[in-house]
């Protein structure tokens, strides 16, 4: 439920009506070449198909942008970022959206329904209105927008370990797959957004490694669910770089906690660039991910290589963890990490790590020494 703005059924109905009127009034407006709407079909979304999925029909990229007062919720539409907090004067329906993405996610289906309608209205708006929004900074070209992590402080950031067949082989050789999934809590204060520097810690600067991970964000409380129910609790997909100082990896079998401590340093959980809602993902069990360091491909894998399907992982962990809206589960790292290479490849100041998930986007972060 939204903080400070409770949206009841009557209010939600009124907002939907207002949005439909705005969409209807502008749906035949002339679209300039190269503008937000790339084709007439982009204005039409079929929402009539029944579904048991919570957010069926939503094609939303939910982001957060930096501001003097802290991160604010935003919507990515093609090559532009809409500042939802500043768009109310030009798109009145946006007045109903919380300024925090965490609060927006916690608002459930009502909030995301309004968000989708804002996207409809923006795509259908006349070019003069969009020009006004660009001039006033309500719409910002994506290339110049300063994005923050899409979820600033989840209650739970759970990282799945020993997740991919390929990564298990490179780290443990011919060891059999584990009997059960293994996970650990990641420090939420280590979260930073796209383009934010990853700082090599003074305490352990020489063996810092990257781990690109497809990650899911929960849309509602998820506790004790079956595999068949699991994806109904997922809002969408983002990317996390599970950074690791590998100084203690040789002690992993005898002192596993020390290896996990090497994942908790500040800036060691870059997240972003945004959340793509689940229904905009073609097949979450076959997502293609690549990790590059200075343009060189280090990891190249698909989620089909996971030891356990994602729905099984969610179900398994939900029997212990009561996930809430906005909590994040990283699905683990495939092969190609620096420690698993010969020779080993650790990160140095000046390096740039880019993790791309097809259909989601690219999370890019430079490496810097700790100041």
Q: What is the pLDDT of residue 35?
A: 33
Delimit the CATH 2.30.30 region(s) of the chain: 9-148
pTM value? 0.83
Bridge-based pairing state of the strands 139-141 and 80-83: antiparallel
- pLDDT recorded at residue 59: 52
What pLDDT was estimated at residue 26? 32
Angstrom distance (rounded) from CA 73 to CA 118: 13
pLDDT band at 74 (very low <50, low <70, confident <90, very high): very high
**Residues carrying CATH 3.90.850.10, the chain:** 157-369
Q: How many residues does the chain have?
A: 371
Mean pLDDT of 194-207: 96
- Going by C-beta distance under 8 Å and a sequence separation of 6 or more, which residues neighbour residue 287? 214, 237, 281, 302, 303, 357, 358, 359, 360
Residue 201: pLDDT over 90: yes
Phi and psi at 279, nearest 5°, equal -75, -5
- Residue 51 to residues 54, 57, 232: CA-CA distances in angstroms? 8, 9, 10
Average of per-residue pLDDT across 209-225:
96
Domain 157-369 CATH class label? alpha beta
Tell me the C-alpha distance between 79 and 90, whole Å.
19
Using H for helix, E for strand and C for coil, what is the string for 337-357?
CHHHCCCCCCCCCCCEEEEEE
Contact 77, 43 (CB under 8 A): no
Q: C-alpha dihedral over 80, 212, 159, 370, to 10 degrees?
A: -90
Q: What residues does 159 pair with on adjacent strands?
A: 184, 330
Task: Report the pLDDT averaged over residues 219-235.
Answer: 96
Contact 228, 311 (CB under 8 A): yes
Dihedral through CA 104, CA 108, CA 114, CA 120, nearest 10? 100
Instruction: Return the CATH fold of 9-148.
Output: SH3 type barrels. (2.30.30)
Instruction: For 6-57, write each residue's pLDDT tens digit.
Output: 333 443 343 334 334 333 333 323 223 233 333 322 222 233 333 323 333 4
**Lowest-pLDDT range of 58-67, 144-153, 277-286:** 58-67
What is the chain's mean pLDDT, rounded? Answer: 82
Angle at 45 between CA 229 and CA 145, to 5 degrees: 90
357 beta partners: 289, 361
């Amino acid at each position: 439920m939204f903080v400070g703005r409770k949206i009841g059924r009557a209010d939600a109905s009124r907002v939907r009506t207002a949005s439909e009127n705005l969409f209807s009034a502008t749906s035949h407006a002339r679209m300039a070449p190269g503008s937000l709407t790339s084709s007439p079909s982009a204005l039409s979304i079929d929402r009539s198909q029944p579904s048991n999925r919570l957010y069926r029909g939503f094609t939303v990229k939910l982001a957060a942008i930096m501001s003097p007062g802290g991160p604010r919720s935003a919507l990515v539409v093609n090559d532009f970022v809409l500042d939802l907090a500043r768009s109310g004067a030009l798109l009145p329906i946006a007045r109903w959206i919380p300024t925090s993405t965490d609060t927006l996610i916690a608002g459930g289906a009502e909030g995301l329904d309004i968000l989708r309608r804002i996207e409809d209205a923006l795509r259908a708006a006349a070019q003069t209105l969009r020009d006004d929004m660009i001039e006033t900074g309500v719409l910002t070209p994506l290339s110049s927008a300063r994005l923050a992590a899409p979820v600033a402080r989840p209650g739970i950031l759970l990282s799945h370990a020993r997740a991919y067949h390929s990564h298990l082989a490179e780290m443990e050789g011919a060891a059999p797959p584990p009997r059960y999934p293994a996970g650990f809590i990641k420090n939420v204060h280590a979260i930073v957004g796209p383009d934010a520097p990853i700082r090599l810690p003074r305490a352990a600067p020489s063996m810092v490694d990257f781990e690109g991970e497809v990650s899911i964000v929960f849309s509602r409380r998820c506790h004790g669910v079956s595999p068949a129910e699991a994806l109904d609790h997922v809002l969408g997909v983002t990317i996390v770089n599970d950074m690791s100082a590998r100084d203690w990896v040789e002690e992993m079998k005898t002192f596993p906690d020390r290896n996990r401590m090497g994942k908790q340093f500040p800036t060691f959980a870059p997240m972003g660039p945004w959340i793509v809602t689940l229904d905009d993902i073609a097949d979450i069990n076959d997502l293609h991910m690549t990790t590059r360091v200075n343009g060189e491909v280090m990891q190249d894998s698909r989620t089909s290589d996971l030891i356990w399907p994602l729905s099984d992982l969610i179900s398994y962990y939900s029997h212990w963890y009561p996930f809430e809206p906005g909590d994040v589960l990283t699905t683990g790292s495939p092969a190609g990490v620096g420690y698993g290479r010969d020779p080993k490849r650790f990160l140095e100041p000046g390096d740039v790590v880019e993790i791309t998930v097809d259909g989601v986007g690219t999370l890019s972060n430079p490496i810097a020494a700790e100041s």
